[in-house]
Amino acid sequence: MDQTIRWAVNHMPKTDDRNLPVMGLSEVRKARAFHESFPQYTTTPLTRLDRMAAYLGLKEVYVKDESYRFGLNAFKVLGGSFAMARYIAGETGRDVSELPYSVLTSDKLREEFGQATFFTATDGNHGRGVAWAAGRLGQKAVVHMPKGSTQTRLENIAKEGAQVDIQEMNYDDCVRLAAKEADETERGVIVQDTAWDGYEEIPSWIMQGYGTMAMEAGEQLKGYGCDRPTHVFVQAGVGSLAGAVVGYFTNLYPDNPPTFVVVEADAAACLCKGAAAGDGDPRIVDGDMQTIMAGLACGEPNTISWDILKNHVKVFIAAPDWVAASGMRMLAAPIKGDAPVTSGESGAAPFGALAAIMTMEEYRDLRHEIGLDENSSVLLFSTEGDTDPERYKNIVWKGLDR
């Protein structure tokens, strides 16, 4: 473990918070109602790790387990499906509340809307979600994956009926390629979980779709007797998920929001880089961004999310690969009496960071900065399961960190 965790405390100037309403409670309720209309919908588990919490010196630890989402082993389908539904709703002059799954998949709507081609870039989970939704809605999907993507994840997307390939470029360049091809294709639509100037509507819908997961977690916490988490750890690539989670819980607890901590892959820590600069402007990380946390290997922030995060996040963390690998192993084999969680490389990064902060003396200052102690109730999101089973086994069973 020659690499250490880096962090930046958020001292950036605040803005007018104009993007916080994107994650308003009424908007998220609309997304949740849409997802509930799917026959595949069930609420994913929120696992309470009581013995692990005691070991770490915390009051409570809760892990939202997205390996059960729609049979796709990851949360990403929530965003892509809702964005596609909202796009179709707009094209047919409806509100998305008028387009539950049964209507969206009907022959009548297909005849009215016709067929579009949805383009996206992905490390695997988002593209699989877009491909899955497109297949069920009778639409086309084209998916580009960055170099270093695994064949297993490509095959999972191909099984959903999408046109998919692995490009010799990084994630952000794949996004640009997908956007260009969408512009050049009749009825082509880019469905990307990042935003840039001039492309913000669909990413905001994707974030609202992710809100279903956050809303479920908030309700499940209350079922456990936890009225409010003191801390929320969430991972970030471009920051769409992080912005969705931070935005939702800020709106849910407006008078006393939790302390938010964002965890990125060290090789692609664009948000942490921006926080360290301190001026509030986004920063970019480029190059190959080699990391086992493929879902977090994104170097250009979502502009909507960045605005939410710089207003509400306490600390940004850049985590080396060993942090995610450690988190995967600890969740897979927790202390006896706690239920195991199958968490993939990107899914386990926040828990790995939490465990390191609480157990390693060199991170004592970070622990104090975040305010973690025996009174803390921490909520984390395991956003994926073993989406690449061989890599998962290599890390968890064989002890490799890559």
How do residues 355-402 score in pLDDT, each as one tens digit?
A: 999 999 999 999 999 999 999 999 999 999 999 999 999 999 999 887
Does 373 lie in the same domain as 281?
Answer: yes
- State what percent of residues in the chain have pLDDT above 70: 100
* Residue that is last in its domain, among 173, 197, 221: 197
Asked, for residue 384, whether it belongs to a domain, the answer is yes
Domain identity same for 249 and 379 = yes
Tally Cβ neighbours within 10 Å of residue 272.
Answer: 25
pLDDT of residue 2 exceeding 70, the answer is no
In a domain, 227, yes or no: yes
Among residues 197, 230, 251, the one where a domain terminates is: 197
Q: Is the pLDDT of residue 38 over 90?
A: yes
* Average pLDDT across the chain, whole number: 96
Please tell me whether residues 107 and 137 are part of one structural domain. Answer: yes
CB of 366 within 8 A of CB of 7? yes
Q: Which amino acid is at 192?
A: Q
pLDDT, residue 90, reads 97
Q: Note whether residue 55 is domain-resident.
A: yes
Domain edge (last residue) among 143, 177, 197 = 197
Q: Running DSSP on this structure, what letter comes out for residue 346? A: T
Active-site residue set: 76, 123
328 and 261 in one domain? yes
CA distance 209 to 222: 21
Same domain membership, residue 70 and residue 58: yes
Q: Is residue 401 part of a domain?
A: no
Is residue 156 domain-resident?
yes
pLDDT at 156 over 50: yes
Same domain, 227 and 347: yes
Residue 264 lies in a domain: yes
Within 8 A by CB and 6+ apart from 18, the residues are 307
pLDDT higher than threshold 80 for residue 162: yes
Tens-place pLDDT, residues 203-246: 999 999 999 999 999 999 999 999 999 999 999 999 999 999 99
pLDDT, one tens digit per residue, over 265-301 is 999 999 999 999 999 999 999 998 999 999 999 999 9
Containing structural domain, residue 213: 6-75+202-396
14 found inside a domain: yes
Structure token digits, residue 172:
């952000």
**Beta-carbon neighbour count of residue 342 at 10 Å?**
20
Q: Which residues pair with 232 in a beta bridge?
A: 260, 379
The answer on 358 and 275 residing in a single domain is yes
Residues 186 and 49 in one domain: no
Which pLDDT score, from 0 to 100, does residue 1 have?
44
**pLDDT at residue 332 greater than cutoff 90:** yes
CA-based nearest residue to 280, from 20, 8, 6, 24:
8
Count structural domains, the chain. 2
1 domain-assigned: no
User: What's the rounded mean pLDDT across residues 84-111?
Assistant: 96
156/291 same-domain check: no
Please check whether residues 247 and 284 belong to one and the same domain.
Answer: yes
Residues 151 and 283 in one domain: no
pLDDT at 400: 87
- Return the closest-CA partner of residue 262 out of 278, 247, 251, 277: 247
